[in-house]
Amino acid sequence: MAAVTTTTDEMGGGLKRKLHGREFYESIGSPKYILAPMVDQSEFAWRMLSRSFMPPELQPKLLAYTPMFHARLFSQDAAKPPYNKYRDSHFQCVLPKDPNTLWLDGNPLVGDRPLFVQFCANDPQHLLAAALKVAPYCDAVDLNLGCPQGIAKKGHYGSFLQEDQELIYRLINTLHLNLPIPVTAKIRILETKEKTLAYAQNVLKAGASILTVHGRRREQKSHLTGIADWEYIRYLRDNLPPETVIFANGNILEHGDIEACLAATGADGVMSAEGNLSNPAIFAPEPQPGEFEDEFWRGRDGKGGWRVDAVFRRYLDILHKYVKGGEPPERRPLFVPNKGMDTSWLQEEIIIPAKKGSKSEAVGNPNYGALQAHMFHLLRHFVTKHHDVRDALARARLGELEQFEGIYKMVEKKVAEGLIEYEETNGKSMEDPAEEERLKKLVEEMGPTETSAAAILRCKRPWWCVQPIIRPLPKEAMAKGAIQPGKKDKKRMAEDEANGGEKRVKGEETNVEAKVVEVVREELEKQTSFQTSELVSG
């Protein structure tokens, strides 16, 4: 049902009707591809990179979120300039020296729309104050109710608000009643479908226009991440009013997983976080044969992927053009085998410029500050083979694009060499029959839902292609010893043992090891039982 609230249009003056729910969703193009809010990782340049792969007709179908911002830090101003360094260094919607000129975040003139700004908060007035500052530059404000990290527990926000449904209602309702643009929310599932439904109903009753549901519980993080439960999201779809707009989050490793998720959940859109970090083109359909031949590689087995050098180049070009405000350096065409292209440049020595001065350009600019982390994520498979690139990335000063241009040349050269070797060996340079057989055997022995091997087989590409980072499933991590109880759990187990009259002496075997396994298994059992997908991350 559409709201009929009348609000002030802060940018254009006058009054406008505030839309709500599905009517609002349709007004921004009914996006079904959703770039997730990621702390320090879904900044302007990365959003623009992700948008750059979408064909023109699909541009309105990609909705992006800003990184999560802290509402109190974002809203509180000092008595004199600079009024708020935190806000100025995280959300750059206007030029610093000309506040009447749009710049980066949320600028429709450069294509950074539709855009939702996400905040974490536990105080309705801090949240409203922060939201009012971004309202003229975005389409909606989102409340983070999903962050499971320790800092969220300490700060009492994110998923650690889910026990206080009354506070959640007040946070959302305050924005719904006082903000000139819609409010949305992102949650995690609870212990049961029924509890999750009641949670969702509270969020919607408070006034949220769109509900994003991450199909994992708060405990599912790090080695316990496991598989997101799409069945919970389907349950919400079937039991909430049909006009409810729902975004599904979890298990998106490749583009094809998006349609699978839509079909399984009935959601209106699908959000990707880690899948997007590994492949910013994840929302775009795969190019047709003959299209983007210099950027999209196809192997002899028919599998293809965007080349890391091509993605790296696009990313740097966006930083030069929009953030630095100049033209990218002149570059040679990307190397394509069997095209008679010059290869003499492969013999040239690559020199990475020294660091300039003592202050990095990254200070106060989130787009420069995120560059190194993005490249480590994007090149994760690449640097496991090319350690010199890994070391160069680690040494690079954030914000000094000249250094990253040098690293790009290293990547460009190694990709060209890899492509030449692939062609000269008829593809055998990338074959590993023993490893493939090992993975297939794991799937046969454990089943596709108990091992990450099935996802690795499906998603694996040569190191010069972007591809997902696939975590071991929790039981695999437990078998490898990667999951262990924390200090508190160990202390509790020792106390339990002492209280049970079991005396520990040096060198004597006890039941502690068995209790370690028991604690880990308890954590695993807290997870949902969704077993209809081989996906293990995203």
- Transcribe 15-32 into DSSP letters: EEEPP-HHHHHHHTT---
Mean predicted confidence (pLDDT) in 472-476 = 79
Using CA atoms, how far apart are residues 279 and 537, in angstroms rounded to an integer? 13
Known catalytic residue: 147? yes
* Residue 37 · residue 67 · CB < 8 Å: yes
Residue 187 has pLDDT above 70, yes or no: yes
Check residue 399 and give its pLDDT.
81
E-assigned strands of 189-254? Answer: 210-214, 245-249
Residue 493 confidence (pLDDT): 61
Nearest Cα to Cα of residue 280 among 64, 533, 60: 64
Task: For CA atoms 22, 26, 27, 31, give the dihedral sign.
Answer: positive
The 3-class SS string of 427-448 reads CHHHCCHHHHHHHHHHHHHHCC
Q: What is the pLDDT of residues 487-507, one digit of tens each?
A: 666 666 666 666 664 443 333
Angle, helices 371-378 vs 387-395, to 10°: value is 170
| Whole-angstrom distance, CA of residue 491 vs CA of residue 405 | 51
pLDDT for the residue 476: 77
Residue 382 clears pLDDT 80, i.e. is over it: yes
User: Which tokens belong to 395?
Assistant: 């040494």
512-529: average pLDDT: 46
Question: 116 — phi, psi (to 5°)?
Answer: -110, 140
More confident call, 46 vs 446: 46
Question: What stretch of H or E contains 163?
Answer: none
Helices (H) and strands (E) in the chain, counts: 22, 14
Q: Which among 468, 466, 464 has a CA at the least distance from the CA of 337?
A: 464
Give the C-alpha separation, 68 to 38, whole Å.
Answer: 6
Query: Does the pLDDT of residue 527 top 60, yes or no?
Result: no
103 with 94: CB under 8 angstroms? yes
Instruction: List C-alpha distances in Å: 499 to 293, 495, 507, 519.
Output: 69, 6, 20, 18
Which range among 354-358, 393-397, 503-507 shows the weakest confidence by mean pLDDT? 503-507
**Is a pLDDT exceeding 80 seen at residue 218?**
yes
Which residues make Cβ contacts (< 8 Å) with residue 198, sequence separation at least 6?
none
Note the pLDDT tens digit of each residue in 236-293.
999 999 999 999 999 999 999 999 999 999 999 999 999 999 999 999 999 998 899 9
Predicted pLDDT at 497: 64
Q: How far apart are CA 218 and CA 420, in angstroms?
A: 46
CA neighbor of 54 nearest in space, from 335, 258, 240, 344? 258
Whether cis (ω within 30° of 0) applies to the bond prior to 468 is: no
- In whole angstroms, give the CA distance from residue 58 to residue 49: 15
Average of per-residue pLDDT across 148-161:
92
Model confidence at 533, pLDDT cuts 50, 70, 90, reads very low
Please tell me which residue, 472 or 469, carries the higher pLDDT value.
469
pLDDT grade for 24, boundaries at 50, 70 and 90: very high
Q: Tens digit of pLDDT for each residue in 72-116? A: 999 999 888 888 999 999 999 999 989 999 999 999 999 999 999
Q: What is the pLDDT of residue 354?
A: 86
pLDDT of amino acid 485? 62
Helix or strand or coil: residue 252? coil
pLDDT bin (cut points 50, 70, 90) of residue 515 is: very low
With residue 72 as reference, give the H or E element that holds it.
Answer: helix 71-75
Tokens of 74: 């974002």
Catalytic residue among 147, 261, 459, 465: 147
Give the pLDDT band (50/70/90) at residue 514. very low
CB 286 within 8 A of CB 304: yes
Binning pLDDT at 50, 70 and 90, where does residue 312 land? very high
Contacts of 94 (CB under 8 A, 6+ apart): 100, 101, 102, 103
Q: Tokens at residue 9, please?
A: 């249009």
pLDDT at 48: 98
**How confident is the model over 306-328, as a mean pLDDT?**
97
Predicted confidence (pLDDT) at residue 460 exceeds the cutoff of 80:
yes
Q: What is the mean pLDDT of residues 226-241?
A: 96
CB proximity list for 134: less than 8 A, separation 6 or greater? 91, 93, 106, 117, 141
507-531 burial, b for 16+ CB within 10 Å, e for fewer?
eeeeeeeebbeebbeebbeebbebe
Average pLDDT for the chain? 88
- In this predicted model, which residue has the larger pLDDT, 536 or 88? 88
Cis peptide preceding 81, ω within 30 of 0: no
Gap between the Cα atoms of 134 and 155, Å rounded: 22
User: Bigger pLDDT: 473 or 235?
Assistant: 235
Instruction: Look at residue 376 and tell me whether its pLDDT is greater than 60.
Output: yes
What percent of the chain stands above pLDDT 70?
Answer: 85
Of residues 279, 282, 229, 280, the one with CA closest to residue 258:
282
Q: What percent of the chain has pLDDT over 90?
A: 74
- Which range has the worst mean pLDDT, 128-137, 245-254, 353-362? 353-362
